[in-house]
Amino acid sequence: MRLADASPGSTVRFRGFDATLETMLQDQFLAYGIAVGQTLSVLQQRPMTLIQCDHTELAVEHSVARAMVVAPA
């Protein structure tokens, strides 16, 4: 499942990035603590995907959210 497909209010576990996302962006997400196995709370999907990782909220463009693979937590 892709992060862009997760419902607002759901909790998902991050599984990784697909090959379409640039390495530089992947490294930026790792710097924010978004690593494989991390639990993410999906706060909203419009106008952008808004997630919470620990105590950090991040707004993610939909093109990026489609490149992020997640699974139900």
pTM: 0.93
Tens-digit pLDDT profile for residues 13-55:
999 999 999 999 999 999 999 999 999 999 999 999 999 999 9
Residue 19: the pLDDT is 92
Of 69, 45, 40, 36, give the one whose Cα is nearest residue 57.
40
Residue 20: the pLDDT is 93
Residue 38: the pLDDT is 97
- The domain 3-72 having CATH identifier 2.30.40.10: the answer here is no
